[in-house]
Amino acid sequence: MSGREDPEGDGTRVVRAGLPAPVGGQPFLPGPMFAAPYHLGEGERYYARYQNPTLEAFETALSTLEGGPVVVFPSGMAAISALLLTALRPGDRVVVPSDGYFGTRVFAHQELARFDIGVEELSTVDLDEVAGAGGLEGVALLLIESPSNPCLDVCDIAAVASAAHDSGCLVAVDNTAATPLGQRPLELGADFSVAADTKALSGHSDLLMGHVAARDTERASRILAWRTRSGAVPGPFEVWLAHRSLGTLDLRLDRQAANARALAETLVDHPAVTGLRYPGLRTDPSHDQFSAQMRRPLGLLSFELADAATVERFLAASRIAVAATSFGGLHTTVDRRAQWGGDHVSEGFVRVSCGCEDTVDLVADFVAAADSLVSPP
C-alpha cells in the first residue's frame, strides 16, 4: 500500500469531516433538519429539494475525502444514472465494465439506448491494453470499476485515464469497493468518482445512499442541477445516519481488511475451495497493481465452491456468515453471485464481505464450515 500522504491520518479525517466548530452544550454532529421550506433570505436554502443543511454537511465531509466537489444521491444507482445522463449526449459512445456491477450494465443497455447512446463493454483486465493501444478513440465516457465487483480485478487507473484523455474521453471510476480511504480516483486522473455509499462507506446495512465526486465545479454543478430537476434528493435522516457512520470508517475498514486477509491466507489451499481471489495476496493476479494503487487493503474476497448446493451447505454449517447480496457492513456476508444472473461466474462462486467480528472467531468458523464440505458424512 502507498504511504501516508495527508497531514492528518484517515482516522482523524473521518472523525472530523464535515463537522462544524464544536460549541459547548451542542452535539458534535447536529441532528438532521427535516424542514422542507425555509424562510427567504437564507442564501440558497429556500426549498429542501435544492439544498439542506444536513446534506451540505455530508457533502462537505465527502469532498474532503474525495478531493473534489460532491453531490449526494439517495442510492448508488441514482448516482451512477445521474452521472451517465449528464456526461453523455445523444449519439455518444460509452464503455462500461463487463465484469462490474450488473445493474450498471442493465441501465446502460436499456435506458441509454433510448437516447441513441452506443453502449460497449470491456473487462477490467483488458482496459490497460485497449486504452494504451488507442482503443478509446470516439468514446465519450469510460466507466471503470476497479477493484471490480465481484471478481476483484484491478487496472492501472492513472495510465488508463491518461490514455483515455489523449483520446478525448472522460473517465469515471466506480469506487464503491475501495471507498475514498482506499483509493482516490480524482487524484489518479479520473474526471468522476462515483460510489454506492449503501455499502462500506456508511457500513451498517441500514440505509441507501450514493454520491458523485467531480474533478471540477462545472461538472459537479451540472450533476447538482440534474438532482434538483429530477428530484433525486436523499432524505435528511438517511444523510445524517451516513454522516454519523463516517466517523468509524477507518476503524471498520481496518478490521474488515484484517479479517479478509486472514480468511484468504487460511482458505487459499483448502481442498473445498478453488479460485480464491484476494488482491492482498502476493499470488493474486492483481496484487502488484493493487499494491501500487490502493492506499489500504480490501475487506472483500471471492472463491468458488463445487456448486450451488455446496454453498448452501457451507452457509448452513457457518455460525457467523449470513447470506446477503449487499456488502461492506459490520456483519460478514456471503453472496452466491450466480443466483442473480448478471455476472459471468460459476454456480458455486461466492463473494465474501468481511465484517468486524473477531478475526480468530471468523477464521475458525469459516474453516469449520469448509471442513464440513470435505468430511465424510
- Which amino acid, one-letter code, is at 266? T
Q: Active site residue: 13, 45, 92, 101, which one?
A: 101
What is the per-residue burial (b if ≥16 Cβ within 10 Å, else e) of 293-317? bbbbbbbbbbbbbbeeebbebbeeb
Q: Active site residue: 153, 174, 250, 365, which one?
A: 174
Q: How far apart are CA 154 and CA 300, in angstroms?
A: 13
Q: Active site residue: 13, 199, 227, 252, which one?
A: 199
Catalytic residue check, 199: yes
- 279 and 147 in contact (C-beta within 8 Å)? yes
Catalytic residue check, 46: no
Query: Is the torsion defined by CA of 268, 334, 199, 213 positive or negative?
Result: positive
Catalytic residue check, 336: no
Catalytic residue check, 174: yes
Name 138's Cβ contacts closer than 8 Å, sequence gap at least 6: 93, 167
Around Cβ 264, how many Cβ atoms within 10 Å?
Answer: 24
Distances (CA, A) of 178 to 106, 158, 169, 196, 331: 23, 16, 23, 11, 18
Q: Active site residue: 49, 93, 222, 313, which one?
A: 49
Residue numbers annotated as active site: 49, 101, 174, 199
